[in-house]
Chain A
Amino acid sequence: MGAQGIGARVPRVEDQRFLTGRGRYTDDINRPHQTYAWILRSPHAHARIRSIDTSAAKSAPGVVAVFTGADMEVGSLPCGWQVTSKDGTPMKEPPHPPLARDYVRHVGDQVAVVIAETKAQARDAAELIEVDYEVLPAAVSIQAALAPDAPKVHQDLPDNVCYDWELGDKAKTEEAFANARHVVKLDIVQNRLIPNAIEPRAAVGDYDSGTGKYTLYTTSQNPHVIRLLMGAFVLNIPENKLRVVAPDVGGGFGSKIYHYAEEAIVTWAAGKVNRPVKWTAERSESFVADAHGRDHVTHAELAIDADGKFLGLRVSTLANMGAYLSTFAPSIPTYLYGPLMAGVYATPAIYVEVKAVFTHTTPVDAYRGAGRPEATYLLERIVTKAAKQLGIDEVELRRKNMVQPDMFPYQTPVLLQYDVGDYPGTMDAAVKAADWYGFAQRRKESEARGKLRGIGMSTYVEACGLAPSAVVGQLGARAGLYESANVRVHPTGSVSVYTGLHSHGQGHETVLAQIVHEYLGVPIENVTVVHGDTDDGQFGMGTYGSRSAPVGTAALVKALEKVVNKAKKIAAHLMEASEADIELKDGNFVIAGTDKSLPFAQVALAAYVPHNYPITELEPGLEGQAFYDPMNFSYPNGCHICEVEVDPETGKVDVVAMTSVDDVGRVLNPLIVEGQTHGGLTQGIGQALLEQCVFDEDGQLVTGSFMDYCMPRADDVPSYNSSTMAVMGASNPLQVKGVGESGTIGATPAVINAVLDALAPLGVEDIQMPASPHRVWQAIQAAKTPMAAE
């Protein structure tokens, strides 16, 4: 490892522009003669549109055009995954028009768009649109949507069920329960979350009537995928006539993966008005129009034998899809959830069933972790509950049931084959780092101050590195999930790397440059990483599911190997040596065993000025492109331990310590790995203690602003004690596993286990998330007077 190579703690190259106000986000982009779009959204969760009168709006000052669903006859916003129900029928996939036709199905559904000279004029004119709504009853919760007489979210779908899916061996699991000495049961609600990247979504559509080419600037995690989805399915524009640019993007967390209506609206409208059209969400719009996350209701049971060995797990989940299927939505509570139910344990029989339900709410899709936090939460809650119920030390119960290091590769009963890991090792490291067994003393100290102290643990394993295309194809993905890279060495030896990934906080411009430095010896200052523009690089699948490190860097390594192989041939020619004797060391080609060397830049120059060149054997130029499709998922894993103090008078929970030990494989840049971990832990704490999306019974979003939706702030969280432990052997060239999501997966159950541990002396046995002061206080009161809670 050099000062700039793989594993070095290199400060990020992108920081200079972000720290001096010179980032370039979508809302910073302004096109000549630009117009502004304001989207009129439904104020009702469910209504029939009887008529829309846009005449007053059309004649308002500055208005260029007003469009409704009747004007915008384009394709439906597509869904990227298919799930098949138990009975073999495909999931129900109702149309999702960018502008509503006939019905609105959630508060915030797009009804019309006003395009005007200024944003204020567009907004003012939108207030003049008269929509005659026949307001209808709404099915807001999962339970309400499944009631026999529930309002229908889609008129031709009588039961509001999208699919009823299963995974695992049901008979074998039933048998395990029949043989069990103990059965532990748990009911949980996965609280619905609103992702809230701090940059609101924005989109600028542009149309060049001279060439017939459209350009969309958008806040996306995957511009190539947006071009494919919008071009092929919605607007019928071929790739060569559509450029999608995702410039600097201010956070994603999943919410900027999906193809959204607004992207199609501004692109389409730019063609109609023949001027650029810009839309920027206000935060209030983001709350109702960005896809939400989580939202499950689950019953789980764990069968255990007399020795404390897990025999079987059965899980029954209801998952909220919202009003329409967002791009990844059906895959989240299925393929990214069910297969995670083994966790780090060698449970021999597992059966999971998931019913996905449409409701009159904002669509639900992947949010950081996506399915894996939901699975891990229930598993780690039920394991801790089992330990308490059986009176076994929970560390030992976990150890007894873990997949042991000598069991890899380990085939779980739910699809996945874990490649490598040391689950007892990461747990022991966390137990030590958190001083788990010294807790009693700290509890006493808290008690002396009138506080209830609790400690909680969670282990986890997640499937990252999305994903082996053949596997996900069988699972219903309608796309491959490989990644691409192109390494272009320029004549003077500087390098441009084109990646299909997209960086929206992850530091790719630094990490990918470090890998180039490692392989070519070129200083990272001379490496530029190009991403986010479909006209400037090859197709790629973007960044989500912790895939950039395990999949994206693998493509880069393959491309670099092509460059090195060719450069060695050129160097051998120039140095009049055998290619087999040429080595590339610290930026110089050397002949093994001699002191002869040739700088990399001179070889690059020879490739572009091929006067003395093996021209009959090699083409000029020095560039390598590769696509990498992984053979397996990668499996980051670890153990998180949380300590809380609860104020029994107010119910307020303070996280006083949070320890994480994560096996993320090889660490490419520790600075970035730590940052990803801290951010994930904070979002995990947010779900456990603070965040909850609330709709009232009419489907109005109650938590529609930062004043009502409780985002974690600096004084809500502690400094973290986080470390990594690399077990090598992941099945990709750099043996990296991914780190983007681990924090949100491990932290949440650890926090709630800690809260319940703190409240246990009072007799509190369960609490739902978020464990807000109000809820904790109520739980304490109910435990004090059990009758009152009836």
Chain B
Amino acid sequence: MPTVSMTVNGKAVSAEVEERTLLVSFLRDSLGLTGTHVGCDTSQCGACVVHVNGDSVKSCTMLAVQAEGANVTTIEGLASGEELHPVQKAFREHHGLQCGFCTPGMVMSAVDLLQKKKSPSEAEIREWLEGNICRCTGYHNIVKAIQAAAGAM
């Protein structure tokens, strides 16, 4: 089995994995970072979104070995200690989450959007979130939260 090494949430990690191991399985099973969720098996739901070298990526669409040497940020690495990232804060203030299962992917995806576009319109936010499915919130408060976070960042 190959050994894979990368930086996850600022920490160098290394582990032996089967070649077929997905990045999401590596994060969850090898590193115990269970904040990244698996909600489907067709790369549609977006619950597993993390950042790889700064860009949002569905971690079920890439193999762990493809992330060799990469800089990976998961939901666990977003806040500074107990101080939430502005997007996390805005999700809380605006009730942008209910069951919390899609939330990590939703937040990581939103953070990437705001990195790429400072004040996206409602339509742009909704289009960006096309790859993140939420069954609870109806998206209304997620959109509001992202707009509020854009103002705060």
Contact = CB atoms under 8 A, between A and B. Distances in A.
A720 B140 contact: yes
Contact of A15 (B42, B97, B127): B97
A16 interface: yes
Contacts of A720: 138, 140
B133 A713 contact: yes
Given A253-B135, A675-B141, A714-B139, A21 B98 contact: no
Interface stretch (A64-72, A437-445, A555-563, A678-686): A678-686
Interface in B120-149: 122-123, 125-127, 129-130, 132-144
Interface in B43-85: 44-45, 47, 74-76, 78-79, 84
Contact of B99 (A251, A712, A713): A251
A18 B142 CA distance: 14
Contacts of A678: 137-141
Interface in A697-731: 705-707, 711-715, 717, 719-720
A283 B42 contact: yes
Given A283-B41, A707-B44, A21 B33 contact: yes
A27 B32 CA distance: 11
A516 interface: no
A720 B139 CA distance: 10
Contacts, number: 178
A283 B40 contact: yes
Nearest to A197: B135
A21 B35 contact: yes
A790 interface: no
B63 to A, nearest CB: 14
A19 B126 contact: no
Contacts of A27: 34, 38
Contact of B92 (A12, A28, A705): A12
Contact of A23 (B93, B100, B139, B144): B100
A714 B130 contact: yes
A598 B76 CA distance: 43
A505 B47 CA distance: 16
A22 interface: yes
A24 B122 CA distance: 32
A250 interface: yes
Q: Is the interface of A mostly helix, strand, loop or mixed?
A: loop
Contact of A714 (B20, B75, B79, B125): B125
Given A19-B92, A21-B76, A198 B135 contact: yes
Nearest to B122: A719
Interface residues of B, number: 56
Given A283-B42, A682-B138, A671 B95 contact: yes
Which of B40, B93, B138, B142 counts the most A-chain CB atoms under 10 A from its CB? B138
A196 interface: yes
A282 interface: yes
B35 A715 contact: no
B129 A505 contact: no
B35 A23 contact: yes
A14 B127 contact: no
Nearest to A199: B101
Contact of B143 (A21, A283, A681, A714): A714
Contact of A196 (B74, B103, B132, B135): B135
A705 B44 contact: yes
Contact of A505 (B39, B44, B98, B142): B98
A462 to B, nearest CB: 18
A672 B47 CA distance: 22
A506 B122 CA distance: 26
Interface in A191-211: 196-200
A707 B41 CA distance: 10
A21 B73 CA distance: 12
A284 interface: yes
Contacts of B99: 197-199, 248-251, 504-505
B130 A200 contact: no
A248 B103 CA distance: 13
Which 10 A/B pairs are nearest by Cβ-Cβ distance? A21-B35, A250-B101, A18-B100, A682-B138, A505-B99, A678-B138, A505-B98, A706-B44, A21-B75, A714-B129
Interface of B: 18, 20, 28, 33-42, 44-45, 47, 74-76, 78-79, 84, 88, 91-93, 95, 97-104, 107, 122-123, 125-127, 129-130, 132-144
Given A250-B102, A251-B98, A678-B138, 10 more contacts: A16-B92, A21-B104, A22-B76, A120-B20, A198-B45, A198-B47, A249-B99, A250-B101, A283-B40, A284-B41
13 contacts: A20-B88, A21-B74, A25-B34, A198-B47, A200-B38, A251-B98, A251-B99, A283-B45, A678-B138, A707-B42, A711-B135, A714-B132, A719-B144
